Amino acid sequence: MAVNIRDYKGRRIHLIGVGGTSMNALAMMLKNLGYEVTGSDRGETLFTQPLRDMGIPVMIGQREENVRGAALVVYSAAIKPDNPERVEAKRLGIPEMERSVLLGQISAQYGTVVGVAGCHGKTTMTSMIAKVTIDAGLDPTVHVGGFVDFLGGGTALGKSSLFITEACEYVDSYLTLHPTIAVISNIDNDHLDYFKTEENIYRSFEKYASLLPEDGLLVAGYDDDKVRNLAADCGRKTVTFGLSGGDYCAKGIEASHDGITRFTVTRHGEPVATVELTMPGAHNVKNALAAFAVCEALGVPAEQIASSLADYKLTRRRFEYYGDMCGAKVYHDFAHHPSEISACLQGARSVCDGKLYAVLQCNSYTRAKTLFTGDMTCMKDADCVLVPDIYPGRETDDGTVHAKDIVRAIENSGIPALYLPTFEDIKIWLKEHLKPGDMVVTMGSGDVYQQTKIFLR
């Protein structure tokens, strides 16, 4: 018999890895919905104290006794079956539920569910929509896969029937959701460790679109051929957005050297609002257009949307300023796919006075082999690319690919590149070469953001 969260009101639900970005949000949402919640994690995180402040006990260290007395245990994909708490839950016969299943069951308790999907830009689009709807007084519950300053984390706990969530395609986790408005911004060759082929990725997004009810709305990225094809075949009402065309489009884009991007939003060719974003990059203009389309569908006036977007700040680890080194500004971005890297560096180049140095940490051996050893023209806006050793992520090194292979691919694409094994090596090299007015952008989804903070000390 399938486990359903509705059956556990008044009983204790224990979340393993509760200090993670998604898991802490789920714990808060459960508490907000009236459940008794506890959690555990290996160490303190940004989110553990806010959980305690909300009345959710958090145990540091994962031990068998933490699950005793729980009626249900929730775990994420990072928590393996040999975790001591999962082992004890199985021994005691305590039912278990995977994180994405819980998110899907929570979404089913809301009347309007906005699920923001796509291989790139999900976190920014979701947080933009959250900002606009909160400012407009729609009082949504929000689940974002990142730390958003105006939320103080990745969660907003509203009292209305509106639920806004990032919808992640990895391991098909978004297929547990119950969207009434589904955003699909782009479909790319990502997560090939799971999907294996681009065709499988496309079929997954098709399944996601099919989750919409007959009166649901698909908000589709016009600039992506695959998304346009999917939208044409999905059998649901569709609204498109893009730079090259679509129902919502941006005209007269102006990028100033202070990082302000100005443009006019048009709907079906007619101007509806002027937007100023405090961030560079055409990709962020597209993210804003997606937010505009969703928020107008939710009934927010165009001028209110423009006003909220003007006050929006990027989510942490999205072209986030970390500090200065030798007179050069140092930024970090979560970009870890060629499309994201290209967009990030184009935006960086538009506001860089001197030389632009990119530091690329690949976060898995599969990604290195499938994405970073062929055409690397995604790095073309950098004057030089520094590549440290591959961050293993979920994988084990089988010896078939090395960071030096990434360097060769970048050089073969006509861009200077260097293999520097450690971030200490990178720090030394940068101090020898940086000049005032230069810029450094460190990129990747591994521990590169932590390493960047360390070498800036």
pLDDT tens for each residue of 84-128: 999 999 999 999 999 999 999 999 999 999 999 998 889 999 999
Hey, CA dihedral for 59, 65, 69, 72, is it positive or negative?
positive
C-alpha 264/C-alpha 256 separation (Å) is: 15
324-to-228, 332, 360, 457 alpha-carbon distances in Å: 42, 12, 19, 10
Least Cα distance to 388 among 412, 372, 374, 375 occurs for: 372
What pLDDT score does 354 carry? 93
**Sheet containing strand 72-75, strands side by side:** 58-60, 36-41, 12-16, 72-75, 96-98
Hey, which CATH number is domain 11-99, 3.20.20.10, 3.40.50.720, 3.40.50.11260, 3.40.50.11890? 3.40.50.720
SS3 366: helix
Backbone angles phi, psi at 244, to 5 degrees: -90, -10
User: CATH 3.40.50.720 region(s) of the chain?
Assistant: 11-99
What pLDDT score does 350 carry? 85
Q: Does domain 320-456 sit in CATH 3.90.190.20?
A: yes
User: CATH 3.90.190.20 region(s) of the chain?
Assistant: 320-456
What pLDDT score does 41 carry? 95
User: CATH 3.40.1190.10 region(s) of the chain?
Assistant: 110-310
Least Cα distance to 157 among 144, 131, 139, 145 occurs for: 139
Q: Which residues of 412-429 are buried (b: 16+ CB within 10 A; e: fewer)?
A: ebebebebbeebebbbeb
What pLDDT score does 1 carry? 60
C-alpha 42/C-alpha 30 separation (Å) is: 21
Q: Which CATH superfamily is domain 110-310 in?
A: Mur-like, catalytic domain (3.40.1190.10)
Intervals of the chain under pLDDT 70: 1, 191-192, 194-195, 315
